[in-house]
Chains A and B, each alone.
Chain A
Amino acid sequence: MLIRRLKENSIELTEIEPIEAELLRKVPSVCDTGGDSRSEARLFSNPADTSERQFLNDWNEYVRPELRHLFLSAKKTVEEDLEKLSDHSGHLSRLIVPRAHADAWLNTLNQARLILASKFDFTDAELSMHDVPKSFSRRDLVLLQINFYAAIQERIIDAIEVEEE
């Protein structure tokens, strides 16, 4: 897969392999925590220690719902973009993401990676490991999925950085 910035204010994902397309299509569903407490705790981490009880209560009442709305809205944008992912069975696909959607993509890919890392309880060392394992357990495959989403994030940041600089 290649990711590049197009002149007409969009980002092009091209030469997408079928397996990559499948992983991309999974992003919105991965973002559903399914009520998993570890994932919820990571997405909505505490903004202060327990000595700030009133602040934490206010945060949970007013800010947390706004954050949830922000995350869901970003996911919906990505979901709608992914509906345009061309689907030629067994062939390479292409997807155009409007530049205005780049932040939603970065946010949603981050949600997906954080949730996968929380659900599978990956350690810092595992997440920093770049060696290819000799055999692939389900856990190894999830780690590859996390790294695949990270690579897309990196390319999107590269694509928008050129403009912001």
Chain B
Amino acid sequence: MAETVVETKVEVSLGTPWNVVVHNDPVNLMSYVTMVFQRVFGFSKEKAQQHMLEVHYKGRSIVWTGSRERAEFYLQQLHGYLLLATLEKAEC
């Protein structure tokens, strides 16, 4: 009896990565934005300050990149702290 070999190809889709972007806002205090980054992303104070300064001087900073679901979760947190934050597709 002939043996049939069935090959199964498993594809893992990593999906498109998404950026969480924080935009400059003249009202939110620098110390407040730093504190929020530390709390939401668990950044060290130094890393949080680097992102805060990027927001301040460049107008925006990509604070996190990853899965869509997680990005939406972070976005909701940032809006709860009243930061200007958006979701955008990461450039591959």
Partner-B contacts on A (CB < 8 A):
43-49, 52, 55, 63, 66-67, 70, 106-107, 110-111, 113-114, 117, 122-124, 127-128, 146, 150, 153-154, 157-158, 161, 164-165
Q: How many residue pairs bridge A and B at CB < 8 Å?
A: 62
Q: Chain A contacts of B31 at CB under 8 A?
A: 153-154, 157-158
Query: Which residues of the other chain, A, contact B27 by a CB distance below 8 angstroms?
Result: 110, 113-114, 117, 127, 146
- A55→B75 CA distance, assembly (Å): 12
With A67-B79, A107-B82 known as contacts, the answer to whether A153 contacts B32 (CB < 8 A) is yes
Among B12-42, those with CB < 8 Å from A are 26-29, 31-32, 35, 38
Check B86 for interface membership: any CB of A closer than 8 A. yes
> Does B85 lie at the interface of the complex (its beta carbon under 8 Å from any beta carbon of A)?
yes
Q: List 17 A-B contacts (CB under 8 A).
A: A45-B79, A45-B85, A47-B87, A52-B87, A63-B76, A67-B79, A67-B80, A106-B32, A107-B80, A107-B81, A110-B81, A110-B82, A111-B82, A153-B31, A154-B29, A157-B31, A165-B45
**Which residues from chain A contact B82 at a C-beta distance below 8 Å?**
43, 107, 110-111, 114
Which residues of chain A are near B72, meaning CB under 8 Å? 55
B29 touches A70 (CB 8 A): no
Q: Which residues of B contact A (CB under 8 A)?
A: 26-29, 31-32, 35, 38, 45, 72, 75-76, 79-82, 84-88
Q: How far is the CA of A123 from the CA of B26 in the complex (A)?
A: 8
